[in-house]
Amino acid sequence: MKIEKSAWAEWLKSNGVEPEKIEQLEQISGRQNMNMPEVLVQSKAVPEESMIEFMSEELGIPTLNIQAIQIEPEILSMVPRKLIEQHRVMPIGKVGKLLTVATGDPFKLRVFDDLRRVSGCDIVPVLVPSVKISEVIDNYFAESRNFDEFIGGKDADNVEIVSEEAAEASRDAVQIGVEDAPVIKLVNFILEKAIKQRASDIHFEPYEKEFRVRYRIDGALRESFSHSLDFYPALVARIKIISKLDITEKRVPQDGRFRLILKDRQIDFRVSILPTYFGEKMVLRILDRSGIRSGLDKLGFSEKPTSRLIEAVKRPYGMILVTGPTGSGKSTTLYSILNSLNTPEKNLMTVEDPVEYQVEGITQTQVIPEIGLTFASGLRALLRQSPDIVLVGEIRDGETADIAVKAALTGHLVFSTLHTNSAAGAMTRLMDMGVEPFLIASSVVSVAAQRLLRRICPSCKAPATIHPDVLRRCKIPESDLRSITAYHGKGCAQCNNTGYLGRIGAAEVLSVDSEIRNLVIQKKSSNVIHEVAVQKGMETLFENALGLFKTGITTLEEVLRVTSAE
């Protein structure tokens, strides 16, 4: 692999470099034993992008837009960080025993030998300007550097933990080191970073030689950093202290919560700790009350499901159900509905497990099964408190379902959730729990099934090409094909090279009328109920999500990931 001296000289001359300057550059290269790319980058004699294109043509090595790709953590971990940062190279992909590496200087053969040795793979270079590689390296390793800075004593005072019990417990924790300033600042930094990156969960995962921290952002886990286990026990102890948990108990799962204040924002954290083979794994659910909207029209649903929900919540009594898998936004929807109904004239009460958001003006009860306070017993007691509006966190059994249905029939507006795939499926699920069909038909007024789809990042949004056969498989009419412009996110620093930024809800809302009630009383299947509801104008979950694709808000891949065309 070589570019002749004469070829370099001719190319430099064609780019306006004077002969005297060319001779000077050649002398520096020979005298300091530097490759010509190194000399040109340091001297800035020509634009580096032009040099990359020249080397690509001369050597037959492809170029790459490195900022438009997402590098998997397992690929990154194949090469030591020190080698990456020292030589400005970046592993980007692996096929079989071939490791593709981005470099701005393909003549550093000794570096390639080192890469081959540490990875156990043959190296396939691609050309990328070194300045672009540096930006990507800084992006991927920023968290690890910040970790080291905090261990060295960097301040992290933007976060204030709010927990009276934590202050009391911390006085007994100094002896094990969890009140050392670096550990406190590290925890604060991790929490603050998660909030700034819009994470919904933080995962702390111990392994044999290190632990890693991952954030769940827009429904997908992304690794933040990994580090040796030296600080992990103190980090776990610190989280336990602020969560009012037993720092000496490491054999059984524990659950807790705490609150922090970040620039006048109050944010709750729900903590789950689970013993594993290499230590205690911690998952922190972030509950940001600013995400609760004050009205259904602000939830982000499209017009049709929103209008149906608004009509349903105007009812003086009846049951309204929200269905979907874990993490589909059911709690946010229900709390937003409650917020819109929260007036001094109404008595709003909830039974939850756990109480996710503490809302002023709403009486909230936490289920404690160990002492007999279940959803059923809590709901039974709650109904003696003269409520107008009731939220049951989840209907898990027949007893709770029966009480909730009867409450809806006796003048209460009842909200709850079920784990079903469709709106119509909620009816048959209640039947399976043993609730009489005539009670379901008389009490349920509306069911919403929802999902969350990732939004295309507006900073790197660009037209995309999708094969017409794929569009037809999605049942998009032939007449619509010509008018649809598909988009995707190319990946940028704003979206962490994922192409997505934020999420939006898609929903189908089943309004229960006399015809649907008759089907329920006749114990018809969810498929039959669904078909009739569609005939009567219900927009399906897939159709609603497809509308988000057609308007350029999300991608077809996202639509197919969370919904079905069937």
Model confidence over 131-169: pLDDT tens digits? 888 888 877 776 555 555 555 554 455 566 665 444 344
At 172, the pLDDT band (50, 70, 90 cuts) reads: very low
Assess whether pLDDT exceeds 60 at residue 48.
Answer: yes
E strands present in 134-237 = 159-162, 199-206, 210-217, 220-228
> Could you please report the per-residue DSSP string of 258-274?
EEEEETTEEEEEEEEEE
377: tokens are: 């017993």
Q: Domain coordinates of the chain in residue numbers?
A: 180-288, 296-451+505-538
Query: Which candidate, 411, 385, 389, places its Cα nearest to that of 339?
Result: 389
Query: Which candidate, 494, 467, 492, 479, places its Cα nearest to that of 557?
Result: 467
Superfamily designation of domain 296-451+505-538: P-loop containing nucleotide triphosphate hydrolases (3.40.50.300)
For position 291, what pLDDT does the model report? Answer: 65
For position 492, what pLDDT does the model report? Answer: 78
Q: What percent of the chain is predicted at pLDDT more than 90? A: 43
For position 295, what pLDDT does the model report? Answer: 63
Strands 348-352 and 362-366: parallel
Contact 234, 179 (CB under 8 A): no
For position 147, what pLDDT does the model report? Answer: 57
For position 173, what pLDDT does the model report? Answer: 36
User: HSE (CB half, 13 Å, CA atoms) of 28?
Assistant: 16
| Cα dihedral: 158, 163, 168, 171 (round 10) | -30
CA distance 492 to 166: 40
For position 1, what pLDDT does the model report? Answer: 64
For position 120, what pLDDT does the model report? Answer: 87
Query: Which candidate, 189, 196, 194, places its Cα nearest to that of 152?
Result: 189
Look up the pTM and report it.
0.68
> pLDDT by residue (tens digit) across 508-525?
999 999 999 999 999 999
Identity of the residue numbered 425: G
Q: Compare 176 and 191 and report the one with higher pLDDT.
A: 191
CATH annotation of 180-288: 3.30.450.90
> Across residues 295-309, what is the average pLDDT?
81
Same topology, domains 180-288 and 296-451+505-538? Answer is no
> Across residues 101-130, what is the average pLDDT?
89
Strands 159-162 and 122-127: unpaired
Burial of 350 (0-12, 13-18, 19+ CB in 10 A): buried
CA distance 73 to 295: 40
Phi, psi (degrees; rounded to nearest 5) at 327: 85, 15
For position 196, what pLDDT does the model report? Answer: 86
Q: Compare 276 and 10 and report the one with higher pLDDT.
A: 276
Cα 39 to Cα 8, 43, 51, 105, distances in angstroms: 12, 6, 11, 11
For position 171, what pLDDT does the model report? Answer: 35
For position 294, what pLDDT does the model report? Answer: 60
Assess whether pLDDT exceeds 90 at residue 534.
Answer: yes
Average pLDDT, the chain: 85
Assess whether pLDDT exceeds 50 at residue 274.
Answer: yes
> Could you please report the per-residue DSSP string of 457-487?
PTTSEEE----HHHHHHTT--HHHHTT---E
Burial of 46 (0-12, 13-18, 19+ CB in 10 A): middle
> Across residues 252-269, what is the average pLDDT?
87
Cα 323 to Cα 132, 328, 447, distances in angstroms: 45, 9, 7
Cα 30 to Cα 5, 27, 158, 238, 251, distances in angstroms: 11, 5, 52, 57, 65
First-to-last C-alpha distance (Å) of the chain? 55
> pLDDT by residue (tens digit) across 361-371?
999 999 998 89
Assess whether pLDDT exceeds 60 at residue 253.
Answer: yes
Query: Which candidate, 95, 99, 105, 94, places its Cα nearest to that of 127?
Result: 105
